[in-house]
Amino acid sequence: MANLTKKYRLIWDLCTLNIQNDYNKDYSGTATVIVNNGIFESDVYQDILDKIEEEGLHPIGEWIDYNPE
């Protein structure tokens, strides 16, 4: 379990680059389990947006399914 103290949290799948959480939600004082994912947190929302662009992440609603059925 990881205790995260910043206001905004960004968690993404390292293989697909799909974002796994609602990154505009205020997560202050919460905890989460991080398993084989990338993670970034900040008190500044613009930092989150910059990280999405820097890493080439796919926001919720724009996920890429690499295993279509």
Ranges of each domain in the chain: 2-55
pLDDT at 7: 92
pLDDT at 19: 93
The token duo for 15 is 């293989």
Output the pTM of the full model.
0.80
Map residue 26 onto helix, strand or coil: coil
CA distance 1 to 56: 26
pLDDT by residue, tens only, the chain of 69 residues: 556 678 999 999 998 899 999 999 999 888 877 777 899 999 999 999 999 999 999 987 776 666 666
Quickly list DSSP for 34-62: --SEEEEEES-HHHHHHHHHHHT-B-TTS
pLDDT at 36: 76
The token duo for 10 is 């960004």
